[in-house]
């Protein structure tokens, strides 16, 4: 048995030497595996390897198949043997091993025991290896690895992810994301009082997105807030995380999207947050909500994205069609207008509302939509929205099947936009649209959703656009509609 173990260790040594791992001092043998020390016994079945960081561990694990499915098990803090630690320090002055024998470099010292198979040509050696190394803390999630630098061979792992996770949730992930955007999150309050005594009532949150003092928030927070004094219309008090207070002016607001811009002026530099992209979000992604719920400034909660395109109609909201990010972040009164950020600390949404009758149902305006609104504000001071004057429904296979069961003359389509109602006197009414029409082409482009029609129109008002609709018995009709501007909010 001992001869077999010795042969295995010998093959391991040759493998490491052949790959120049030992020559580069990436790892060091922590004593002789067969050594019997009175103070420190080393099990001859295990080989202790001192690794200084996760990059070195990645080099060690290249070409190693983990027999237990790809997850390093049983991560526990350990102490390296005194002698081996001192030897490691002598060979590498940069290593930070204390006299007690524990290494503390980039993270903690860990030990993990598992069956590994390393292919060596000719044959291969299967051995039990206990790796001791310096790694930053990370979560033990299936399919995740400590660092993006570690390349894992998943050819022999069932269900293995071929691409390492470079943004795994770690011990400081949420804290780091909050720290990046936190200083730019502000508390908004309105001056209130009586008998000459004035105090401020917190009404919501906001985020400084530009060094010139531009603050992004919700329109319902700063426009016609209940209890706001007449003399304070358009004025809010802005309190930063560092305690500085400014008088802010509401410069733009759009009630349809519930987005507003507040401006402050400061002689000293202001912290700012970075706008990200909501189009890259997926259900299950981690997000962080920041704000001042119930006047509790600097409050942070975390959760995941539950849905990336929750329709306003799903929530029973009328008016213009909107889409929201649904999360399970805990938000309350005062969170409105605060940022929703990803784990990189970039704003991906503006928190707007929650469902009062349930927990874990919070909603935010996607930052991609907000960015377009900000461009409208800069261009014309308001959001220009073309108005057609009709209701629309996205068609899918199930809806089409039901409509055909009810009416055999329903047009033969696979997708499109159904018009269930036309407003009398509207642009589409004058153009000749009828209830039951299915729009399949708009302004020369095929369309399958309401979103595509809205994107095609953009902010073009008063511009004739041709629409191709399919009617009963598959009759094709081309109509010309001239969109009008919807009534602006401000």
Q: State the catalytic residues.
A: 220, 258, 336
Q: What residues have CB less than 8 Å from 105, skipping those under 6 apart?
A: 52, 53, 95, 96, 134
DSSP state string for 323-361: EEEEE-----TT-TT-EEE-TTSEEEEEEEEE-TTSSS-
If you ran DSSP here, which 8-state letter would residue 486 be given? P
CB 164 within 8 A of CB 152: yes
> By C-alpha distance, which of 149, 155, 165 is closest to 60?
149
Exposure pattern of 372-405 as b/e (b: 16+ CB <10 Å)? bbbebbeeeebbebbbbbbebebbeeeebeebee
CB 101 within 8 A of CB 87: no
Phi, psi of 78 (to 5 degrees): -140, 170
Residue 215 to residues 248, 270, 285, 371, 482, Cα–Cα distance (Å): 9, 11, 26, 13, 36
> By C-alpha distance, which of 115, 110, 99, 114 is closest to 136?
110
Q: What residues have CB less than 8 Å from 77, skipping those under 6 apart?
A: 108, 109, 110, 111
Length of the chain: 490
In this structure, what token pair is assigned to residue 94? Answer: 């940069």
CB 199 within 8 A of CB 367: no
**3 state SS of 367:** helix
User: What is the DSSP pairing of strand 235-239 with strand 185-194?
Assistant: antiparallel
CA 186 from centroid of its chain's CA atoms: 21
Residue 443 to residues 432, 440, 463, 485, Cα–Cα distance (Å): 16, 10, 10, 18
The helix (run of H) or strand (run of E) holding residue 64 is: strand 64-66
Residue 436 to residues 249, 319, 370, 392, 405, Cα–Cα distance (Å): 47, 21, 33, 10, 15
């Amino acid at each position: 048995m001992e001869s077999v173990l010795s042969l295995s260790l010998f093959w391991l040594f040759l493998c490491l030497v052949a790959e120049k791992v030992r020559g580069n001092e990436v790892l060091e043998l922590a004593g002789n595996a067969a050594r019997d020390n009175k103070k420190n016994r080393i099990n001859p079945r295990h080989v202790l390897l001192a690794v200084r960081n996760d990059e070195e561990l990645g080099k060690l694990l290249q070409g190693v198949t983990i027999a237990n499915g790809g997850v390093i098990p049983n991560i526990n803090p350990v102490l390296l043997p005194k002698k081996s630690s001192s030897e490691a320090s002598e060979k590498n002055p940069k290593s930070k091993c204390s006299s007690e024998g524990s290494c503390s470099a980039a993270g903690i010292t860990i030990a993990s025991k598992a069956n590994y198979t390393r292919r060596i040509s000719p044959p291969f050696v299967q051995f039990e290896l206990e790796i001791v190394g310096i790694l930053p803390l990370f979560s033990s999630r299936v399919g995740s690895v400590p660092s993006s630098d570690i390349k894992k061979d998943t050819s022999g792992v069932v269900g293995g992810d071929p691409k390492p996770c470079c943004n795994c949730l770690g011990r400081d992930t949420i804290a780091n994301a909050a720290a990046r955007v936190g200083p730019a999150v502000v508390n908004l309050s309105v001056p209130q009082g009586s008998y000459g005594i004035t105090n401020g009532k917190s009404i919501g949150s906001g985020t400084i997105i530009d060094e010139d003092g531009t603050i992004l928030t919700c329109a319902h927070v700063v426009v016609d807030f209940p209890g706001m004094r007449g003399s304070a219309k358009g004025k809010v008090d802005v309190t930063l995380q560092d305690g500085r207070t400014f008088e802010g002016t509401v410069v733009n607001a759009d009630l349809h999207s519930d987005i507003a811009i507040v401006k402050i002026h400061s002689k000293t530099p202001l912290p700012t947050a970075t706008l990200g992209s909501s189009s890259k979000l997926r259900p299950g992604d981690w997000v962080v909500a920041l704000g001042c719920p119930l006047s509790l400034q600097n409050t942070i909660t975390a959760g995941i994205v539950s849905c990336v395109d929750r329709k306003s109609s799903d929530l029973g909201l009328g008016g213009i069609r909107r889409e929201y990010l649904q999360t399970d972040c805990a938000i309350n009164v005062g969170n409105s207008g605060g940022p929703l950020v990803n784990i990189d600390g970039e704003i991906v949404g503006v928190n707007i509302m929650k469902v009062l009758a349930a927990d874990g149902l919070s909603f935010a305006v996607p930052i991609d939509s907000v960015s377009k609104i900000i461009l409208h504000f800069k261009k014309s001071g308001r959001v220009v929205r073309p108005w057609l004057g009709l209701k629309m429904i996205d068609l899918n296979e199930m809806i089409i099947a039901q409509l055909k069961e009810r009416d055999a003359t329903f047009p033969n389509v696979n997708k499109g936009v159904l018009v269930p109602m036309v407003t009398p006197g509207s642009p589409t009414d004058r153009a000749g649209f009828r209830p039951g029409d299915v729009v399949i082409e708009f302004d020369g482009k095929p369309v399958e959703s309401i979103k595509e029609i809205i994107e095609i129109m953009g902010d073009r008002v008063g511009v004739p656009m041709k629409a191709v609709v399919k009617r009963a018995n598959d009759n094709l009709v081309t109509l010309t509609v001239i969109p009008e501007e919807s009534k602006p909010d401000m």
